[in-house]
Amino acid sequence: MALDRWESRLEDLFQGRPYDMLDATLSDTVEKFPVDIQVHPLDLKKSRYRNIDELYIYCYYVVGTIGLMSVPVMGIAPESHATTKVYNDALALGIANQLTNGDVGKE
């Protein structure tokens, strides 16, 4: 299955074994800005949500986490006093992007 191959390739990338130049670029970024990534394939499980709470959880895992992971890449030091606000704003931006995507909740 293609998803299984992609997951295996991603695991290799995070272990410093890139497949190609694009993977090498991401591998370098992951090495410089380590993050704890856990796969949550919510797009594969469900396409409609009963209420805003379910939709928020979906948006958090699918795109909110990307906002969170981007903070150190943008140069915000972990010891910065603005960290909590910056991370909250990054999370909110990711969720807002997903909500305005147009694909949320479509079958």
Tell me: the pLDDT tens digits for 52-103?
Answer: 898 888 888 878 877 877 887 788 776 777 677 888 888 888 888 888 876 5
Query: Which of 50, 45, 39, 43 shows the shortest CA–CA distance to 103?
Result: 43
d(C-alpha 89, C-alpha 60), whole Å: 13
- 16-36 pLDDT, tens digit per residue, is 888 899 888 888 877 877 766
pLDDT confidence of residue 35: 66
* Comparison of pLDDT for 59 and 42, the residue scoring more: 59
pLDDT confidence of residue 107: 46
| Owner of token pair 């991603």 | 10
Contacts (Cβ under 8 Å, ≥6 apart) of 51: none
